[in-house]
C-alpha cells in the first residue's frame, strides 16, 4: 500500500495530465482514480473539496513544473534570441512528444473554467503570474529596460499561448518557431 503522500501526488499528477489533454469538463474523477490506481475513497480524503480542488492544485503543480522548465531554458540562453527560441522549443517538444494531444497545461483548464470557478481561475492566474515574473526577469537580464519588460513579457506569453494553440490545431510546431523569431526581432 502506498504512503498517503504518494497516493495524493499520484492522483494530482494523473489529474494534471488528464486536464491538460482533455480539459476540465472532459475529465471525470472516476477516470482520475482509475488511471492513478488510487482507491475510490482516496480522492475525497486527499481533496475534500472535490474536483474543483483537484483541478486548482493540479494547475498549480503544472504551472510550477512548466515554469521551472522554462526558467532552466531561459537561464541557459546567452541572449534574448536564444532564450525565446528555447521557450518555443520547450512547447514544441511537449507538443511533439504528446503527438499533439497536450497543449499548455494551464490554457485548456483556464479557457473552460475561468468564468465559472474562482478557485481554478485564481490558480491559473497565479501560475501565469509566476511565468510572467520569470519572463520579466529574463527580459531585464537581456538588457530590456524595466519599464518595457512587463508589457513585453505579456506579449511574449500571449504570443506563445496562441502559437501553442495554433500548433496543436495544425499539428505543426513551425508556428512556434516563427513566433519566437518575430518576438526576438522586437527586442
Per-residue model confidence (pLDDT) at position 4? 57
The pLDDT of residue 183 is 95
What is this structure's pTM?
A: 0.90
Nearest Cα to Cα of residue 19 among 51, 43, 65: 51
pLDDT of residue 65: 93
The dihedrals phi and psi of 142, each to the nearest 5 degrees, come to -90, 10
Tell the residue number behind the cell numbers 537580464, with chain if given: 141
CA dihedral 127, 128, 130, 136 (to 10 degrees): 170
Average pLDDT per block of 10 residues along the chain, 187 residues long: 75 95 94 94 92 96 92 86 94 96 92 93 96 93 93 96 96 97 91
Distance CA(57)–CA(24), nearest Å, equals 13
Grid look-up 506579449 returns 155
Give me the pLDDT at residue 1, please.
46
CATH 3.30.230.70 fits 51-186, yes or no: no
Q: Tell me what pLDDT residue 186 has.
A: 86
Amino acid at each position: 500500500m502506498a504512503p498517503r503522500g504518494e497516493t495524493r501526488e499520484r492522483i494530482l499528477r494523473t489529474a494534471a495530465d488528464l486536464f491538460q489533454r482533455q480539459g476540465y469538463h472532459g475529465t471525470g474523477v472516476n477516470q482520475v482514480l482509475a488511471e492513478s490506481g488510487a482507491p475510490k475513497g482516496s480522492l475525497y480524503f486527499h481533496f475534500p473539496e472535490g474536483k474543483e480542488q483537484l483541478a486548482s492544485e493540479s494547475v498549480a503543480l503544472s504551472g510550477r513544473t512548466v515554469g521551472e522548465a522554462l526558467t532552466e531554458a531561459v537561464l541557459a540562453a546567452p541572449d534574448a534570441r536564444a532564450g525565446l527560441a528555447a521557450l518555443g522549443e520547450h512547447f514544441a517538444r511537449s507538443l511533439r512528444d504528446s503527438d499533439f494531444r497536450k497543449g499548455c497545461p494551464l490554457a485548456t483548464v483556464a479557457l473552460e473554467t475561468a468564468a465559472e470557478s474562482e478557485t481554478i481561475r485564481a490558480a491559473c492566474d497565479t501560475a501565469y503570474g509566476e511565468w510572467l515574473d520569470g519572463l520579466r526577469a529574463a527580459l531585464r537580464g537581456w538588457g530590456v529596460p524595466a519599464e518595457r519588460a512587463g508589457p513585453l513579457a505579456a506579449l511574449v506569453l500571449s504570443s506563445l499561448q496562441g502559437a501553442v494553440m495554433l500548433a496543436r490545431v495544425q499539428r505543426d510546431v513551425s508556428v512556434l518557431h516563427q513566433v519566437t523569431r518575430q518576438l526576438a526581432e522586437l527586442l
